[in-house]
Structure 1
Amino acid sequence: MDKINTVAIVGGTHGNEYSGIYLLRQWDKQPEIISRSTFSTETVFANEKAFEQNKRYVDFDLNRQFSHDDLNNPNLRGYEQCLAKSLNQQLGPKGDARTDFIIDLHNTTSNMGPSLILLQSDEFNRKMGAYVKQHMPSAVVVFEDHASVEEHFFLSSLSLQGVIVEIGPQPQSVIRQDVLDWMAEMTKHILDFIELHNQADVPALPRTYEAFKYTETLSLPLDEAGERAGMVHHSVQDGDFKPLKDGDPIFTLFDGTEIFWEGDYIAYPHFINEAAYYDNNLAMSLAEKLIVHTD
């Protein structure tokens, strides 16, 4: 891959995910922490209005507004829809962006630990995942390469290369030191890897490592009236990236009835019971485990 010249670190895409916001404030005071010799780094506070209102978003989830169709649709005039167009001008435009690489910082209420979400599985991303895990053994790598970067609607898809740093568990509108420290460390390793890539000096990496590949999203059970009828089973709750096998309990209805996973693969739930996803009645994402080859 070509040299990366410009990197944007984005925080506050969701206004009540505080770790990235407060890290940006610190890095703005100490820019040497995120500065490297072979590329320029800028910080972007994506949704200050949502932060001021202590909400995830004002009108619409900002991190779902970056499809080509939506960015080019003049009839979409909600606050985040207009903000997405402005960010597209600032960092993009999508498909021909002036920004080479975006690091988008997020918190989750789910027990995912320090997770690195990659939108591509090309050699650069495979090696970056290996480098991060080599220097941060607690890190989990998740590939969301079921769609091309052009087809994704995340903010990080504005650039040709981009990642999502997703750290939890952290309640909304709260700061936790362990979570903030994980986010700062993972960001450092990503920046270090880009620097080494630019210098053609990436060190020896493990030939393989374990990661996860997104497969599908499950919804919470509903009754005939469309009302929520149950919850995530207690044996699944907080068990992000632990195996779920065919026949394992996955939901409990409010009347006590258990619902069991019916799947033809061993699934690894994550984003389990994410508070922000209740707007869409989503219960969790599922993934398969895979062995990633770095060569």
Structure 2
Amino acid sequence: MKSINSVAVVGGTHGNEFSGIYLVRQWQQHPQRITRDTFTTQTLFANPKAHEENKRYVDSDLNRQFSVEDLANPALANYEQSRAKVMNNVLGPKGNAKTDFIIDLHNTTSNMGPTLIVLQSDDFNIRMGAYVKAKMPEAVVIFEDQTPLAEHKFVSSIAAQGVIVEIGPQPQSVLRQDVLDWMEIMTMHILDYVDLYNQGSLPELPASYEAFRYTETLKLPENAQGERIGMVHRFVQDNDFKPLHQGDPIFKLFNGEEICWDGHYEAYPHFINEAAYYDNNLAMSLAEKITVQL
């Protein structure tokens, strides 16, 4: 892969996820903290209007607006759809982007700790995961590589390379020092990795490491009318990345019944009971544990 010449650090894609917003503001005042020798770094505050209104988004989720088709469709013109087109002009255009690498900063209400989400399983991303975990053992790496990059709708898919830094638990519209610190530390390790990668000076990395690969998303229990009739079971709550075996309780219905996991594989829930996903009645994402070989 060619060298990374330009990096963008994006905060505030969701207006009520505060850590990335406050970090981007700090780095705009002190750009030397995110400056490295082998590439240029810019910052972008993605969704200022949503932040002013203290909302995740104004009209629609900004982090779902970056498919090539949607970016090219002038009929998609609500606030976030229009904002996505502006961002694509600044960082992209997608498919031939002037930005080589995007780091998109997010908070989750789920107990996921410091999590790095990568969209591709090429050598660059595999080694990045190894480097981040070597420097930050508490970090979790998730591969969401089941979809080609061109078909992803995330901000970080504008560039040929991009990752999502997802840190929690943090309630919406508040700051937590531990979460903000994790986000800053992980971002610095990623920037260091890119710099070392460009120089061909990466340290010796472990031959393999544990990671996760996204498999599916589960919805909260509903009745025939689409009304919510249950909640995430306390057995699962706050146990992100803990194994879920067949027969383990996963939902508790309001009538007292339990629904158990009946999948054919050992699942690892994450984004458990994420507050932002209630508008779509989503309960959690699932993953399989994998061993990544360098």
TM-score scaled by length of structure 1: 0.99
Gaps of 5+ in 1: none
Q: Distance in 1 between matches of 2:140 and 2:255?
A: 36
CA RMSD of superposed structures (Å): 0.5
Q: Distance in 1 between matches of 2:41 and 2:62?
A: 22
- The one-letter code matched in structure 1 to 2:289 is K
Shift of 1:163: 0.2
Does the residue aligned with 2:214 lie in a helix, a strand or coil? Answer: strand
Matches within 5 A, 1:14-93: 14-93=14-93
Q: After alignment, is 67-76 or 183-192 more displaced? A: 67-76
> Which residue number in structure 2 is paired with residue 182 of structure 1?
182
> Which residue number in structure 2 is paired with residue 147 of structure 1?
147
Q: Distance in 2 between matches of 1:147 and 1:22?
A: 31
- The one-letter code matched in structure 1 to 2:120 is Q
Does the residue aligned with 1:269 lie in a helix, a strand or coil? Answer: strand
Gaps of 5+ in 2: none
Q: Distance in 1 between matches of 2:254 and 2:163?
A: 38
Shift of 1:68: 1.0
- The one-letter code matched in structure 2 to 1:9 is V
- The one-letter code matched in structure 2 to 1:194 is V
Matches within 5 A, 1:208-227: 208-227=208-227
> Which residue number in structure 1 is paired with residue 235 of structure 2?
235
> Which residue number in structure 1 is paired with residue 246 of structure 2?
246
> Which residue number in structure 1 is paired with residue 278 of structure 2?
278
Percent identical? 69
Matches within 5 A, 1:101-180: 101-180=101-180
Shift of 1:29: 1.3
Shift of 1:140: 0.1
- The one-letter code matched in structure 1 to 2:90 is Q
- The one-letter code matched in structure 2 to 1:211 is A
Shift of 1:223: 1.0
Q: Residues 249-295 of structure 1, C-alpha deviation per residue, up to 9 Å, x if partnerless?
A: 0000011100011111000000000000001000000000000011x
TM-score scaled by length of structure 2: 0.99
Q: Distance in 1 between matches of 2:57 and 2:254?
A: 30
The reply on whether 1:11 has 2:11 as its aligned counterpart is yes
- The one-letter code matched in structure 1 to 2:109 is T
Structure 1 outlier segments of 4+, above 3 Å = none
> Which residue number in structure 1 is paired with residue 206 of structure 2?
206
Q: Distance in 1 between matches of 2:109 and 2:249?
A: 22
Q: Distance in 2 between matches of 1:226 and 1:241?
A: 28
Q: Distance in 1 between matches of 2:279 and 2:202?
A: 42
Q: Distance in 1 between matches of 2:154 and 2:13?
A: 10
- The one-letter code matched in structure 1 to 2:163 is V
- The one-letter code matched in structure 1 to 2:27 is W
Q: After alignment, is 43-52 or 220-229 more displaced? A: 220-229
Q: Distance in 1 between matches of 2:268 and 2:94?
A: 32
Shift of 1:31: 0.9
